[in-house]
Structure 1
Amino acid sequence: MQLKDPLKLCLKWLPSVMLLLFYLPNAWDKITNAGQTDKVIANEAVMIATGIFLLLAVVLFMYPKTILWGTALLALYMSCIVVIHMIKGKPHELTLLLVVGTVFAAYIRAPQNLT
């Protein structure tokens, strides 16, 4: 019985931590390497604002009381990325899985907030 609670807690947070390992480097790269020329929007200010938006969304996603807002912001961001990938003809399946994974991870952690 003593092993059940830590294991349950670990499995509850595992999808969120895995998503965190994707979103944080992405946001950090947008802030520190804003001069990327191969992006749809090459404006540095927009890239920095996008990175800050991602960091804010991740913080809201990780805090239990604001998980709904964080999930909505991350899903909105990734949905826009899916559309951009579809328009440019790039593979969009992985980005679509990240949208689904974000909602799924939030539902695992706080099902009462998403029903």
Structure 2
Amino acid sequence: EEIGRPNYADYFPILGYFDPFGIRRRLAAYFDKLVAVFQDIIRQRLKARSENSSVTNDILDTLLNLYQENELSMDEINHLLVDIFDAGTDTTASTLEWAMAELVKNPEMMAKA
């Protein structure tokens, strides 16, 4: 919901510096919560892998293999997981925002819809 909300700093860049609506602060808090969830999942997976050496060959196991080979840091894994998670949300929100803007600009199309 927060990502799909219009940010006036996108239109008036000077507002981004001041963050008058608290968007940056709220998004940082959501980011921290999401990373905490991912870290818990990663801890559980690492524990399961160490107890029974099972690998499920999903994206998380691939990232953890790269981590164990020192090719990725845990911070990079967390950011990749956040990007993957957010990608679907942002795409949907952007598409809906674009569609609504087009309908507002074209009232005759809105009447047909």
* Rg larger in structure: 2
The TM-score with structure 1 as length reference comes to: 0.36
User: Which structure carries more relative contact order (alpha carbon 8 Å, separation 6+)?
Assistant: 2
The TM-score with structure 2 as length reference comes to: 0.36
